[in-house]
Amino acid sequence: MRPVGRSFRVLFFLLAVGCVKARPPGTVELPRRDVTLVFQVEVASIPQGSKELTLWVPVPRDERVQVLRSVGSDSPNAEVVADLRGNPALRIVVDGPAAAASAQVTVAISRVEERGAGELKSHPVGLIDFTKEDRPEQWLADGPNVVDARVREIAADLYRDAAGDEEKARAAFEYGLAHTQRGDCADVHALFVGLLRAGGVPVRSRVGFPLPPGPGEGKVDGYRCWAEWWSKERGWLPVDLSEAWKHPEKREYLFGNLDADRVGVSLGSDVRFPGQAGPALHDFVYPYAELDGVPAQVTTRVTWEEKR
C-alpha cells in the first residue's frame, strides 16, 4: 500500500507444486479459465496523526479446482497471511499514513469446471491435495447465527424419510429452491447450510466473484455465493442454489457440479486474520482495513482480464 503520490513496486509469487501436468491419456479436458484479477483499493479521509493503517486484501484460494498462479502488490510492506481455515489475504501495513492511501494487488488464477469430487484426480491443471488438512467435522458447528429452533424444526420434518446424507443434501437443496422468493445468494445458501448442519451433515459456505463467459476484460460486478457439503464416499460436493433458481434447466447439474465461470475467494464465515483487532468478518470477498485498530472505510474496484 502506498500514500497517494508515492510509488513502490514489489512482487510476490505463490507457485503451486506440480502446477501444470500433462493430461493423462483418455482424460476429458474440462473447461478452464485463466484469469487475472486486479484490486484497486483506496482509504480516504485519514485523520492527521494516525499511526498505522492495515489492509487485508483477498487472495483467491489454491484448491482442488483452482490454482493460484501469482500474487503481486505495489507495496513494500506486504505479506501473505491466512486465517485458521486457510483463507489467505495479502496484509499491507502503512506506518504514519498520509491523508489518503491506495494500493493495487494483482492475482492470477486458473480454474476449471468442477464435476463432483471423484473426477478431479486426473485433472490436467494439476491439483493441490488439501484433503489431509481438511477436517469435515469442523463444519458441523451450529451457532445461533446458523441453526436456530425454526431451522431444526424444518430439518426434522424434511429428513423424516431421508436414508442418508445425500438424500438430506438433496432435500435441503430442493427446499431451498422451493422457498427462494427474495434475498441474495448469501441468504439462500445460509438456509441450505443451516438445514444440513441441523441434520448432522458437514457443510460450508463459499464466496467469490462471477466471471462473464469467454475471454475479455472489464469490471467485476458483485460477488457470487455457493456451498459445499461433505459426502463420506466422494468428499466435498458443490451446490449453487442461486444459479439453479435463475436457470432451472441447470438444476440437476448444479447439485454436485459447478461451471468454471467464477473465482473462489474465501471459505466459511466469521473470518479473522492475524493482527485483526476488529470483529470477525461475516465473509471475506472485498478488502478490509483498520486504522489504529479501528475498522476503516475502503473503496474497492475489482477488474478482470482473460487474454484471447
- 144-161 pLDDT per residue, tens: 667 889 999 999 999 999
Q: Give the separation between CA 296 and CA 308, rounded to whole angstroms.
A: 38
Mean pLDDT across 53-62: 95
Mean pLDDT across 201-223: 95
Q: Give the separation between CA 18 and CA 128, rounded to whole angstroms.
A: 8
Mean pLDDT across 251-272: 94
Q: What are the residue boundaries of the structural domains of the chain, listed by start?
A: 2-112+271-306, 133-267
- From the list 286, 301, 205, 218, the residue with the least C-alpha distance to 35 is 218
Q: How confident is the model at residue 181 (pLDDT cuts 50, 70, 90)?
A: confident
**Helix axes of 165-178 and 185-198: crossing angle, nearest 10 degrees:** 150
Multiple choice CATH, 133-267, 3.30.420.10, 3.10.620.30, 3.40.50.20, 3.40.50.620: 3.10.620.30
Architecture of domain 2-112+271-306: Sandwich (2.60)
- pLDDT at residue number 146: 79
Strands 216-219 and 114-115, bridge-based pairing: unpaired
Asked if the model's pLDDT at residue 221 lies above 80, the reply is yes
Q: Give the separation between CA 304 and CA 214, rounded to whole angstroms.
A: 12
- pLDDT at residue number 41: 98
Mean pLDDT across 209-218: 94
Mean pLDDT across 96-110: 96
Query: Which residue type, as a one-letter code, is found at position 107?
Result: V
- pLDDT at residue number 8: 31
- From the list 47, 131, 43, 54, the residue with the least C-alpha distance to 89 is 54
Percentage with pLDDT > 90 across the chain: 69
Mean pLDDT across 175-193: 89
Q: How confident is the model at residue 63 (pLDDT cuts 50, 70, 90)?
A: confident
